Structure 1
Amino acid sequence: MEEKDISTRLLEAVEKTAARMGLNVEDCKANMLLAYVEELTRWNKAYNLVGRKLGAQGIVDLCVDAITPLCFKELIAPQKEVVDIGSGAGMPGIPLYILAGPFPLTLVESQRKKITFLQHVRRKLGLEGIRIYPGRAETMCREEDHLNAYETAFARAVADPPRILKLASPILCDGGRLVIFVGEKDAEGLRRSSTLLEARGFKLQTTRSTKRFTSRDNHLALLIKMAK
């Protein structure tokens, strides 16, 4: 796939997805998102950040999926502290920051090659509101500076929902919101588990298929941390 083709496919996919969510993407933000995808594509070939077999179109699809939480209104705001648990190569945090930012964002990642990439992208794209926590979420959730510190948390492809709840609970403030990227089976499981969720301090607000935004039948689960 040629570079021009990558650019065209990404911009068309992002604009279409954003429009379906009632959002308008400014040219400067679309270009910054393209720069991120180009860097990720280049680094992935060398360092296997998201899987070499994925290819450029697969990375475009990942990026488009990453922005689907913007279908939840008022999830992100300029002064809200946001955390991306197990950010990997910056998904979903960086695409969300580019389109909906700036806002205070912490990317949690423990693998050295991915940390190096995140630092590179932050510097190259001038993403000044992004902080990188170079360690495991299991460690972060025991550190006093991070307890009850975040109003919104995202988790994608990092662990199963029960494990994510355990990691997110200490660092989210009361009333904080957690968005988990899940498959259809896990979405159904969460809808059937209100008692278990409440025992872990959460309430399920909704689950939503992203198919009408991206034509791929992925799901988002939006949960609220209840006050103790």
Structure 2
Amino acid sequence: MNTTTEPGYVYILTNPSFREDWVKIGKSARPVDIRSKELDNTAVPLPFEIYATIKTVKFNEVEKLVHKTIDRLTDLRIRQNREFFNVPPQVALDIFKDIAQTIDDAVITEYRDNRPIQEPGNDCPPTNNKRVVKRERFRFSLVGIPIGEYITFIPTGIQVKVASDNSIEYDGRIYKLSPFVGTFMPEDKRNTSGAYQGAKYFTYKGKVLEELRREIEQDDEELEVQSEPATE
């Protein structure tokens, strides 16, 4: 069997015996509840608790990217050769969410008391522990912006040209939205994770791209509901 096609997990673990801003971020090819129990040994006084996971076939690459993103912030590893980081778990989760936007099969699950959190208003048990349903990657055609149009980078007012359905051109170079934001975001406006969802930082004709996308998705959902056959 080719294990590279099998999904695995990148996890955030906390521990009641640690400081509140200490987390363990690692990976496992098996369910994380099994891995967290394996880590429950005499080296730590209390069991680990699962805070969140990403499930994806690219779990090896995602773990490295999460570690690299945190390392870029500052020297936040408690020990350089270990998977323990001096960051609040919510910051680590924000990094998970930003990275998940760039991976087609990524599913994030958040936990409370070592149990997956159910969606608000959903009384049914979570299916496959899914907390976040992965959306399609942003493309300009999703919001009706043709190639050649200009969009505005909110933090600085820079105008960039739409070069393809998923890239922009600025100063003779081609960028994807999120890397552009990470490169040109002013120092005083950077977030703690260093990762960005590109569509939140550009406007087209005065509207934020992410808002345009949400409006279209809502319209599509309403049409879907209207087209459903009535049931007795």
TM-score (norm 2): 0.28
Larger Rg: 2
TM-score (norm 1): 0.28
More helix by share: 1
